[in-house]
Amino acid sequence: MRRILVIGIGAGNPDYLTVQAIDALNRVDVFFIPDKGEEKSALRHLREEILARFVGKKRYETVGVDIPRRRAAGEDYRGAVDDWHAALTSNYENLFERHLTDGKVGGFLVWGDPMLYDSTLRLMERLDVEVEVIPGITAVQALAARHGIALNHIGEPVLLTTGRKAMLGLPQGIDSVILLDGDQAFAHVPGDYDIFWGAYLGTKDEILISGHLSEVKAEIEKVRAEARQTHGWIMDTYLLRTRR
Ligand SMILES: C[S@@+](CC[C@H](N)C(=O)[O-])C[C@H]1O[C@@H](n2cnc3c(N)ncnc32)[C@H](O)[C@@H]1O
């Protein structure tokens, strides 16, 4: 059976790579590099930097993967994602057939960690491959580290969710980390929160803002819009911590 290493590369700083990840990079013969539109050049650059810096003498090949566009989700978000995964799966079947010959090992460099809002493992489940997962540092860990905070109140839960879900309402009294937020949900959620916000975490463009949500949300909106304009894309995440 073909062997695939799904390697978490951390969420923005090459120094986030673990020793286990570096070891795994040096076992891969063919890296499959998905092309994800607007974020692509910055992310591709980081992946290239990681390979150049951490792969020793081993010869490897990189194969770009065109990601088909996902149809507009409308009401049926799960259905749209499912169709998209089916298209991606058949793409990978063909690529593995072509490039993973003679026992070659395939590899994916997954932003952050593969267990958090990433499709790679779900896609691999659909294929006849043996998968090994190497964990990485997530954007959530980077956020907490850069703000120098613990994520949870003592003995309390933390919800990980998306901007899309947050717009529909957050559970009262629970702290939440919001990822994938195109809508700036923090500016709309009711509740008495402190926010710990971070953009481009771990990179040279990193921005951190924290404070009482009602006092800093206008500043975050402004800084976020300017950064997005400057870079052409943005990746941000934040903790909404209930005030006690
Ligand atoms: C598709 S999810 C992937 C998460 C990733 N697997 C991880 O472990 O961090 C992408 C979202 O993660 C967050 N994110 C990832 N990297 C980030 C970074 N360097 N700075 C801020 N947010 C980041 C953003 O909310 C972004 O929309």
pLDDT tens, position by position, 206-234: 999 999 999 999 999 999 999 999 998 89
Q: Are residues 77 and 121 in the same domain?
A: yes
107 lines ligand 1 (CB under 6 A): no
Label residue 171 exposed, middle or buried (CB < 10 Å: 0-12, 13-18, 19+). exposed
Label residue 44 exposed, middle or buried (CB < 10 Å: 0-12, 13-18, 19+). middle
Q: Are residues 163 and 195 in the same domain?
A: yes
Q: Is 55 in contact with 25 (CB distance < 8 Å)? A: yes
Of the three residues 137, 171, 187, the one that is the final residue of a domain is 137
**CA 137 – CA 209 distance, rounded (Å):** 21
**Domains identified in the chain, total number:** 2
Q: What is the pLDDT of residue 73?
A: 64
**Residue range 47-72: mean pLDDT, rounded:** 86
Q: Are residues 144 and 133 in the same domain?
A: no
Q: Are residues 144 and 48 in the same domain?
A: no
Of the three residues 86, 112, 137, the one that is the final residue of a domain is 137
Q: How many C-beta atoms surround the C-beta of residue 230 within 10 A?
A: 9
Q: Are residues 94 and 185 in the same domain?
A: no
Q: Are residues 127 and 17 in the same domain?
A: yes
Q: Are residues 91 and 163 in the same domain?
A: no
Of the three residues 137, 171, 196, the one that is the final residue of a domain is 137
Q: What is the pLDDT of residue 2?
A: 94
| Best probe residue, ligand 1, of 118, 141, 179, 239 (max atoms within 8 Å of C-beta) | 179
127 lines ligand 1 (CB under 6 A): no
Q: Are residues 226 and 150 in the same domain?
A: yes
- Global pTM reads 0.93
Q: Are residues 59 and 168 in the same domain?
A: no
117 lines ligand 1 (CB under 6 A): yes
**CA 113 – CA 118 distance, rounded (Å):** 8
Tokens 């009262």 belong to 172
Q: Which domain holds residue 56?
A: 2-137
Query: What mean pLDDT, rounded, does the chain reach?
Result: 92
